[in-house]
Amino acid sequence: MEWVDRMTATIDYIENHLTDDIMYDEVAKISCCSMHQFGRVFSYVVGVSLSEYIRRRRLTLAGLDLQSSNKKVIDIAIKYGYNSPDAFTRAFVGMHGVTPKVARTLGVKLKAYPPITFHISIKGDVEMEYRIEEKKEIKLVGLVKQIKRQSANAEANDWKEALGEAWDIWDEFLDGDIDRKIACEYKLYRSPMWQMGFTKTLENGETILAIGAEADENVLTDLQSHTIPAGKWAVFTARGSLNGKAHPIDVMWTKITAEWLPNCGYERAADYELEVYLPGDTNDDDYACEIWVPITKK
């Protein structure tokens, strides 16, 4: 029940801070996950992104406030994190189908999204492919960015939008010249690391995102670089199309967090993770990619 308890604690924290600026890294700490990992697990388990869940809960309470008090619309908008009446009205209409002003009319129907509760039976009846690796320092070359601390912006429609900078960095890498240079000019995509995405949450809540390939120390390139520390890793194989309804990485992160880590005798050794994208058809239902989790004995 440890994982269920942690997820329940995150919902309790959110409920107690719906009128505050909820920081993603604070929520992730309660769940004992990295921010990057927690976002993917939450979206897969709950069916909506964390930011969308928070938005729905805030707009649910805003509707109750409108119907049960004489507070001004602007005061209710600010209370639930909206900077202007127009932004609040757009979001409110999007969920409830009526304006905040109309919501005060007797007989008007509004939507309500109650807090999530977790009652999950984890059976572990689906196999997990994993191995344990010892790696020296990995020199990653490619694109390296530092992302500012993220909050649950009330005006963001989903997790991807709320963390738009991270997605933009992947777009910049894949659509720009960096991916081509690594593949064609430097020929660095090779076994076992292939294409890598490294995410590290810093103590101040900011995130380092490094995307690229492994390079030998003596290889000089005009690309940015980041050194991934040496250590022991648990490596999990995730299979499935990257363009399917559920991303295989999201599915596997959920199983790692809920099933493997509580029962394996290991714990996360650091607040970072590595994704490795192997060659192949990413649209294929059997496409394989990997999650590398830094571990240490409990």
Nearest-angstrom CA–CA distance, 193 and 136? 13
The H or E element containing residue 291 is strand 288-297
Task: Give the pLDDT confidence score for residue 257 in this predicted structure.
Answer: 85
CATH value of 129-297 in 3.30.56.10, 3.40.50.300, 3.20.80.10, 1.10.3720.10: 3.20.80.10
Q: Do domains 1-121 and 129-297 have the same CATH topology?
A: no
Specify whether domain 1-121 bears CATH 3.40.50.1980.
Answer: no
Span 33-78, pLDDT tens digits:
777 778 778 887 787 888 889 999 999 999 999 998 889 999 999 9
Span 101-143, pLDDT tens digits:
999 988 889 999 999 887 655 555 556 778 999 999 999 999 9
Q: Where are the domains of the chain?
A: 1-121, 129-297
Query: Three-state DSSP class for 40?
Result: helix
158 pLDDT higher than 50 = no
Span 174-208, pLDDT tens digits:
887 899 999 999 999 998 899 999 999 888 888 89
Nearest-angstrom CA–CA distance, 50 and 55? 9
Q: In the block, which residue shows the tokens 């910049």?
A: 172
Nearest-angstrom CA–CA distance, 201 and 50? 17
Q: Looking at residues 156-170, what average pLDDT do you find?
A: 59
CA distance from start to end of the chain: 18
